[in-house]
Structures are given as structure tokens and as C-alpha cells.
Structure 1
Amino acid sequence: MSLKDKLIDYANLVKFEHTIFALPFALASVLILYKSFPSWWKIFWIVFALVSARTAGMALNRLIDLPIDEKNPRTKNWVHVSGRVKKHEIIILIIISCVLFVFSALFINFYAFLLSPIVIFLLWLYPYSKRFTNFPHLVLGVIYFLIPIGVDIALNEKVSLLSVLLGTAMAFWVAGFDILYSLQDYEFDKQHHIKSVAVKFGIESAIALSRLFHVITFFSLVLVGLISPQLGYIYFIGLLVLAGFLFYEHSLIKPHDLSKINKAFFTVNGYISLIFLFVVLLDRLF
């Protein structure tokens, strides 16, 4: 196998393209939270920390869930199940990604370095959470909650109300679409005693809770706009557009028709993250 093919397999392993969910939101947090514009060097390390942490988290997920993925018809062709990426390769990738994450946090500042082991612990905990809680989606949400917190620590060496609100918005956004994503494994999860909101309460209740989570996301972002002295009318107009995309996402998912989950999860959520970054950037510029 060529180096190019191997790199493609690694990218498929960690779903590298899904970085589009977190990275624009993190960059938008930088634009909202900075008091004096940070150096490009610091921005580089913030982005590097985010990408390395996400890579570690996805690799941990694949390693820990390998026994489950081997039984799931939906995942039988994934690279770690088919053997294109070996178990020892995943372990090496986890170690390298964790070291790079801690290293980048140290380059940001000492407070970010102190936060890094907590992040790694949560990344390890999330794949196990579906074994012991019906709300593994909230564990994933906590991980994403820490992204704006980490940005605030990186830029200002403190945790502000703005970063907490941004973290809340991001946490419930991710937890909400993770609930929707889990619906495609509903029958498999029930048979194999894998916990989720849908397995515990049913598909209709899971969809309703996902909608509630995204309502919380929207109003958290409204509060961000009301509290932040840097944001103005462009931001609020953008939130209306974002609300439209959230509404569209949920219009695609119906209790008796889950055929459009991938479109709702991958396409619409990618647009939501990019739109939020674009709106914040536009607002800060004008």
C-alpha cells in the first residue's frame, strides 16, 4: 500500500472531514473572545490543539468500539474493521495525537496545559459512556463545551461568561445532532444493549430531545450576542439564518423516515458551523 493510500485510510479512520463541525466554531470563538487580536502563532497552536485532540478522540473511539463495530452491518467496511488500519496503528496514532495535543497546549500557555489531561480523559470516557449511561451524547457535548473554554484560557487566561455561553451552545448543538446520528443504529443498539436516548425512550422522544437541545443552542447564541460588546446586528441576522438551517435539519428527520439522517448530520451541520464563523467574521469586520 502506498503512503498516499495509507494516509487516506488514516483520514477515513478519524473522519478527518468532520473537523468542519468543530474548527469553524472554535475560530468563531476566537473572534468573539479576543480583547486584542492574538498572534497568528497562537492561533496556529489553538487550531493544532483542536485538530490533534479531535484526532485522538476519534482514534480512541475506533479502538474502544472495535468489538461493537465488527458486529454492526453499517460499519463492517470501515477501515479499522476491514483491517486496512491495524489495531497497533490506531494505538500509535492515539499516542502521537495525545502527545501533540499536550505539547500544543503547553505552547499556548500553562493554564491550557493544565486543562489538557481533563480533555484527554473525556475523549477516552466518551466511547465507554454508551455502556453505562443513556446519555452518552451529553458526554460528547461536554467535550465540545470545553472548546470555547479552552479558547478563552488560551487568549485571556480566564473563563468568562461569554465562553461558558458559547460552550453551552456548542455542547447542546453537538449532543443534539449526535442523538440524531445514533438513530441509524437504533435496532442494532437495542439488540446489543448499547445505551442511548433512543434506546431508552424511543425514537420519537429522542428526536424531541434533539430539537430541545438545538433550541438551547439557539438561545445560548442569542445571549452571546446580547452580552458581547463586539457583536451587532449582523450577528443577529446571521442567527436567524442559522435557525433556519436548524429547522431544516429537523424537518429532514421523522420518526418513521430516517433515510435523510446522513444529509441532516453531515451536510446541514457542516453548513451551520461555517455560517456561524462567516457571520461572526462579517460582524467583527463591519
Structure 2
Amino acid sequence: MNKDNSRAIIRNAVEITRPTWTGFDERWDNSEKVFISRAYDQMGFDDWIFVYFLEKHNIYSIEKIGRILDNLEFERKYNRKLAGSLEAPLYEEMEKGTYGSEGKSFYKSVKEFNGRKGAAYYKLLWYMLVTCNYLKENYNASFSNYIKTQYANYKGLDYISDNKFLEISSQEWEDFKQEHKPWTELYGVGINVFDYIVGDIIELKFVTESYKLDAANERFLKITGIIPKNEMNHENVKKYLLSFDLPYTLREINKGLYTYASELGKDKYGYCRTPQKCKDCSVNDICEKNF
């Protein structure tokens, strides 16, 4: 597809969905809850809905979730027999109170959750439990402390203040990610999700170039024909989208394409989800429609 058509298709998606994606903003002082709600929002699990149940049962914090595994000797690797269902030993013991009030609350949250679970639901919950325990034990139950410590270690510093960290440039952040891979200690989190966790924290200057290549973005780019499936990887997509010199940050494009093509936005937008809905799209005459 030529660049003029690609540019027009992307601009249409970002502009139409602007009223929705501008509401995704988060604050740095809420980064602990942002981490819990986003780190495992992957593989069909609506983590962002699950946290409402954590909040209902007063366990929406890294500190509280992190306490659950305190008295369990465990391997980080997911064990389906131990934690693969509500009838598995881990959850049965939570229900009994073996893992304290936090365990009971987590069990209730899992039982009552009524969003999309996906095939990896219990595996992702295990990742959440393990990582919150790790952050509690090593970083004062603080994602912001974790990420600042990782950056300070990378720069050879003993400490970095919030103010200094918030001023990091996009290039400094990209170098840090490429050389240090700061997501490796966060069990179950890769580069895509790591970018997504911090991507909407408005005080962070460097997030303008963050990008999560999720299923909705892949769907949009494949169906429109903007990027071939065999070239669809995180770095290729970033470079290609930046080459259009559009009047948006990369993160704004990311949010716009997600909203346009995601399951979440299918009622209001969803133009790339079915051939029938595609007919209502104002740029369908220049789209390849690869359904």
C-alpha cells in the first residue's frame, strides 16, 4: 500500500476515536494500581476489569496481593496442578483462610470476576501473585520504586528522584530498554506489556514513543494492508508508523488503532472486525480489507 493511503487510514482511525482514547490518561502517583491493572491485561484476560473486584474486596494493592504467597514455598514457574482452577489446592487453601484475609479476598475476586478470562487466565493470575510478592519483598511493594531502581542501576547511580526520572527523554528511555531490558524481573511481562504499563502516565515525558503491539493493533494493520503479517513485529511497526510523520505521538497512534479495532470498542467503532461493519468506515475505498 502506498504511504498516502496508509497515512489517511491511520489519521481517520486516530481522529474518530480521539474522544475515547483521551480518557486513558493515568498519573504517576497511581502507578502501583496502574501496574496491577495492566501488567496481565494480555492473552484475552481483561485485567482492567478484574481489578474492580480486587478493589471491591479491598485488595487492590501490590502490598496486599504480595502477602498471599508469603508462607508458601514456591517455584516461579506456573504449576497448573497447584493453581490452575478454583478447585486447585492454592485456591482451596485461599478460601479456607490459609493465606490470610488477603488470600480470601483474592479468591473471592477470582470467583466473582465476570469479564473475558482467556485460556491463560489462571496462569496470568499466578504471574500476578508471584510478581507482587517479588515487588513487596524487594522494592517496598512499589512499581515506581522498581522502575526507578532499574534505571538508576543502568546509569550507575545510587538513587534517582521522581523529578529526575520523569524528565528522562524518549531516546534515553529507548536506550535503557534496549540495553537493560527492565521487564525481565516482572514475571510474565514482556516489552509490549511493559510499554503498555507506563504508556499513559502523563507525567512521564518519554512515553510518547511507547508502543504496545497488541491483537487489536495487529488486526488493524493486517486488515487495512498497511503492514504485511510477516513484517509485523514490535520494532518494525514502530519504525514504519513513525515514518509517516503524522501529527500524533506514537502512543496516541497506538491508542487510536487499538480503540478502532478492539473488542472493547466494537459497539462504537469496530470497523476492522467484520466485513459488514467495514462498510461504514469512511476510508474503506482505500483499504485492502484483508478479512
> Does the alignment reach a TM-score above 0.5?
no
- Normalized per residue, the structure richer in helix is 1
Q: TM-score, normalised by structure 2?
A: 0.32
Q: TM-score, normalised by structure 1?
A: 0.32
Q: Tell me which structure has the larger Cα radius of gyration.
A: 2
